[in-house]
Amino acid sequence: MARPRSAEKQRAILSAAVRTVASQGLGAATAVIAKEAGVSNGSLFTYFGSKADLLNRLYVELKTEMAAAALDGLPAEGDLRERLCHLWVRWLRWATTCPEKRRTLAQLDVSDEITPASRQTARQMMAGIARLLEQSRSNGPLREAPLEFVVALMSALADITIDFMLRDPVHADQHRQAGFEALWRMVA
Amino acid sequence: MARPRSAEKQRAILSAAVRTVASQGLGAATAVIAKEAGVSNGSLFTYFGSKADLLNRLYVELKTEMAAAALDGLPAEGDLRERLCHLWVRWLRWATTCPEKRRTLAQLDVSDEITPASRQTARQMMAGIARLLEQSRSNGPLREAPLEFVVALMSALADITIDFMLRDPVHADQHRQAGFEALWRMVA
Amino acid sequence: MARPRSAEKQRAILSAAVRTVASQGLGAATAVIAKEAGVSNGSLFTYFGSKADLLNRLYVELKTEMAAAALDGLPAEGDLRERLCHLWVRWLRWATTCPEKRRTLAQLDVSDEITPASRQTARQMMAGIARLLEQSRSNGPLREAPLEFVVALMSALADITIDFMLRDPVHADQHRQAGFEALWRMVA
Amino acid sequence: MARPRSAEKQRAILSAAVRTVASQGLGAATAVIAKEAGVSNGSLFTYFGSKADLLNRLYVELKTEMAAAALDGLPAEGDLRERLCHLWVRWLRWATTCPEKRRTLAQLDVSDEITPASRQTARQMMAGIARLLEQSRSNGPLREAPLEFVVALMSALADITIDFMLRDPVHADQHRQAGFEALWRMVA
DNA sequence: CATGAATGAGAATTCATTCAT
DNA sequence: GATGAATGAATTCTCATTCAT
């Protein structure tokens, strides 16, 4: 029950930030984000201590949402390949469904405003994904590599695949499959 | 007549830009870059019409240098795997040797200041790499995918591998090998 | 809520602009105007979107004030010559009373920062003057000329007369009378 | 015979300045003027010590040319009205023939870069005009006003008339006549 | 003497953040 | 708490002028 109005505004700001950053880049002015959120520019700073703070929270939020989307409905058991494919499909579906979120996330990922702590938190959100990957690669050629390395690989692969899906929607399905084949061959 | 435009100064500015962007990001002030280059504020703009122009030229320059480094000494004939490996080794050596260039290039790659024309030019610089990749994948699972897709994959894989090599220099060799294995399995 | 935009501050800026432009010309820096107004650099831009905007508003403001001063207390009826003379006297009195405003207005008048819209608005402010002039010239030699032509003539004549009044204050009265005679002979 | 090359370049610069100032205002960069003149920006400063110097010389030059054009072919004797009309026609013809010169002159006239000395010189160039005006007004209503006042009046009247002639070329003749009637009534 | 690169003092504007209302 | 005006440092770019070639 603690400040329900606040939670709403906070969400509005984050959501406005997604849209604004997607279209204007990380240089987007806080005042613009605030206006897009229907909130005064001063208010933005009562919800987020600074622009960097907003960006960090947005980063964690988006990573979390992405991971949740990818893991949604993942069967606890069953064939590894199938489970990984399930994850792959969900991941890409989320990204292609909200291209603005994805675009913003891509910008945040390379920003030096994002603190190590935020990156760490984000990694934890991806733990479920990492776990499945851990199993998948356990007998594969990357079984000795750091797990993080494999996660990073999968993320990059997903990113590129999404790029091509968005750029060439007619062959989206083929791109998704090609991406998955590449992934599977790499890890398993 | 008159003092000729000095190639030296131009290089100094580009090189200063590499260092400054690597440490301060793309938001680095042109004045800072100029000072770092030992050149006046205004001179930067006689060599580069605008900050965006500087960034674009830097982008093309770095991509070109990277591609040249990767292709340097590549045997024209011989075993495909070996040739690709040769390329891989050179590429990563370049990146680990000049981490600042690589860091700057990473920032430029995601910047929206970089024009399509610059990206196009950069792609042409990578043509040699693409060609080798084309041969390598010709019987592999990605033989039907757009070549660009495969190039992007390799780039991302290289990037991640470099990250780990820099982060964990003790196991640099292992990371490089793991990266190559992943690459080879993906394409061949 | 929040501090309301202060009409006072806006006036202070406009008034500072009058003084600064009068003494330094239209090239006067916005920073100087702001300081003269006792306002921060940035505040000037919350009241006026750009320097050109400030200049345009100043232009309209001064023209309006000038016209109002000229028309102030103008008898609605009576001898035309007397009424025109009344106008003439008020006009010149205003100009000689605030030479800085007049000087600034003269600069603005020839500036190409002033938009057609502003000039149009200014013209409307002068409508009262134009109307009286229309009556005055109705049987005179300029009865066929565009009214605007006659208005421009009167403005120029006023300007020159003011110049001489300011330059040679001892004979200010004579200059004013000579100017009026010239005007009357021209139009009536 | 003294530096014939120089005289040519000097003329080229002055002429380029006319065109450039006409289109870009007094803020036109010296480098632009130099380029328009087909001369290096450094050279401009060997012919004119500073931008202000260039502007002042241009001012005097244009005023001189204008006066010469107005006085060209003026009959030494004859009816005053006719002679003044002759002058009027030539003056306006010059101005409508070279609108750029006129436009530039108008800008210079209100600039505070123009020194009193230049204005004085310009006045002397107008002496022939002033003399005719002196005769014309000798029995008229302005016979007691300072001659300068009458000259200023005529100049302003000419300016306005030219404006209307350029703006509305179809009725150029009528405007010219109306202007002259106004002038004659004012002075004679 | 011509050239045009070099210089660096501004110029207008922007923007994160603070604070009066 | 919400608002949006206030702030002023920081930014990119311009330009008259100088000076090395």
For A26, residues 6+ apart whose C-beta sits below 8 A from its C-beta are A55, A107, A108, A111, A113
Q: How far is residue C184's CA from residue D186's CA, in Å, rounded to a whole number?
A: 9
Does residue D172 lie within 7 Å of nucleic acid chain F, judged by its CB? no
CATH topology (fold) of C1-49:
Arc Repressor Mutant, subunit A (1.10.10)
Tell me what pLDDT residue C1 has: 60
Q: What is the pLDDT of residues A144-184, one digit of tens each?
A: 999 999 999 999 999 999 999 999 999 999 999 999 999 99
CA of B117 to C1' of E5 (A): 29
Phi and psi torsions of C66, nearest 5°: -65, -45
Q: How far is residue C72's CA from residue C91's CA, in Å, rounded to a whole number?
A: 9
Tell me what pLDDT residue D117 has: 97
Q: How far is residue C155's CA from residue C149's CA, in Å, rounded to a whole number?
A: 10
Specify which residue's alpha carbon is closest to the C1' of nucleotide F4: C2
The architecture that CATH gives domain C56-187 is Orthogonal Bundle (1.10)
Q: How far is residue C101's CA from residue C78's CA, in Å, rounded to a whole number?
A: 31
Nearest to C160 among D107, D144, D149 (CB): D149
What's the angle, vertex CA B99, arms to CA B95 and CA B104, rounded to 5?
100
Contact status, residue C13 vs residue C34, Cβ threshold 8 Å? yes
Tell me what pLDDT residue D18 has: 98
Nearest to B141 among A27, A146, A181 (CB): A181
Tell me what pLDDT residue C77 has: 87
Does residue C138 lie within 7 Å of nucleic acid chain F, judged by its CB? no
The better pLDDT of the pair D186, B4 is held by D186
Instruction: Spell out which residues of chain D touch residue C141, defining contact as CB-CB under 8 Å.
Output: 178, 181-182, 185
Instruction: Spell out which residues of chain C touch residue D145, defining contact as CB-CB under 8 Å.
Output: 174-175, 178
Q: What are the pLDDT tens digits along chain D (188 aa)?
A: 344 458 899 999 999 999 999 999 999 999 999 999 999 999 999 999 999 999 999 999 999 999 999 999 999 888 999 999 999 999 999 999 999 999 999 999 988 899 999 999 999 999 999 999 999 999 999 999 999 999 999 999 999 999 999 999 999 999 999 999 999 999 98
Query: Which tokens go with C3?
Result: 């501090």
Q: What is the pLDDT of residues B104-148, one digit of tens each?
A: 999 999 898 999 999 999 999 999 999 999 999 999 999 999 999
Alpha-carbon distance values, D154 to A176, D65, D99, D158, D182 (Å): 82, 17, 19, 6, 10
* Placement of tokens 């130099």 in the chain: D34
Alpha-carbon distance values, B176 to A160, B82, B152 (Å): 21, 14, 18
Kindly report the nearest CA distance between residue D52 and chain C, in angstroms. Answer: 14
Q: H-helix or E-strand containing A25?
A: none
> D77's torsion region: left (phi>0), alpha (psi -120 to 50) or beta?
beta
C151 has a chain D CB within 8 A of its CB:
no
CATH of domain B55-187: 1.10.357.10
Does residue A174 lie within 7 Å of nucleic acid chain F, judged by its CB? no
Alpha-carbon distance values, C21 to A15, C13, C18, C53, C104 (Å): 46, 12, 5, 14, 6
Q: What is the DSSP letter of D171?
A: G
Query: CATH number for the A52-187 domain, one of 1.10.357.10, 3.30.565.10, 3.30.390.50, 1.10.3720.10?
Result: 1.10.357.10
Q: Which residues of chain A have pLDDT under 70?
A: 1-5
Closest of A47, A56, A61 to residue A9, by C-alpha: A47
Tell me what pLDDT residue A83 has: 97
Does residue C111 lie within 7 Å of nucleic acid chain E, judged by its CB? no
Q: What is the pLDDT of residues C110-143, one digit of tens each?
A: 888 999 999 999 999 999 999 999 999 999 989 9
Q: How far is residue A181's CA from residue A81's CA, in Å, rounded to a whole number?
A: 10
B152 has a chain A CB within 8 A of its CB:
yes
Tell me what pLDDT residue D188 has: 85
Q: What is the pTM of this model?
A: 0.91
Contact status, residue B90 vs residue B70, Cβ threshold 8 Å? yes
Same fold, B1-49 and B55-187: no
Contact status, residue B69 vs residue B90, Cβ threshold 8 Å? yes
For A61, residues 6+ apart whose C-beta sits below 8 A from its C-beta are A14
C110 has a chain D CB within 8 A of its CB:
yes
Does residue C110 lie within 7 Å of nucleic acid chain E, judged by its CB? no
For B79, residues 6+ apart whose C-beta sits below 8 A from its C-beta are none
Q: How far is residue D93's CA from residue D179's CA, in Å, rounded to a whole number?
A: 13
Does residue D64 lie within 7 Å of nucleic acid chain E, judged by its CB? no
Query: Which tokens go with B77?
Result: 């004939």
Those nucleotides of strand F lying less than 7 Å from any protein Cβ are: 1-21
Query: Which tokens go with C18?
Result: 């009058």
Q: What is the DSSP letter of A40?
A: -
Instruction: Spell out which residues of chain C touch residue D112, defining contact as CB-CB under 8 Å.
Output: 25
The secondary structure of chain A in percent helix, strand, coil, rounded to multiples of 5, reads 80, 0, 20
Strand F, CB < 7 A, residues 60-119 of A: none
Alpha-carbon distance values, B163 to A125, A149, B102, B158, B176 (Å): 21, 9, 10, 9, 10
Cite the beta strand spans of chain A per DSSP E: none
Residue contacts between A and B (CB atoms, under 8 Å) = 70
Tally of CB atoms within 10 A around A9: 17
Lookup: nucleotide whose C1' is closest to B3 CA = F21
* Placement of tokens 């530096």 in the chain: D3
Alpha-carbon distance values, D169 to C184, D154, D163 (Å): 28, 21, 10
* B1 band by pLDDT with thresholds 50, 70 and 90: low
Does residue B75 lie within 7 Å of nucleic acid chain E, judged by its CB? no
Tell me what pLDDT residue A5 has: 58
Output the average pLDDT for chain B: 94
D147 has a chain C CB within 8 A of its CB:
no
Strand E, CB < 7 A, residues 15-54 of A: 27-31, 41-42, 44-45, 50-52
A 19-78 → B contacts, CB under 8 A: 25, 27
Q: What is the pLDDT of residues B38-76, one digit of tens each?
A: 999 999 999 999 999 999 999 999 999 999 999 999 998
Lookup: nucleotide whose C1' is closest to C51 CA = E12
Closest of A173, A170, A123, A169 to residue A150, by C-alpha: A123
Cite the beta strand spans of chain B per DSSP E: none
User: What are the boundaries of each domain within chain D?
Assistant: 1-49, 56-187
Using CA coordinates, name the residue in chain D closest to C25.
D112
Please state the separation of Cα C153 from the chain's center in Å.
Answer: 14
CA of A42 to C1' of E17 (A): 9
The SS3 call for residue C34 is helix
Does residue A74 lie within 7 Å of nucleic acid chain E, judged by its CB? no
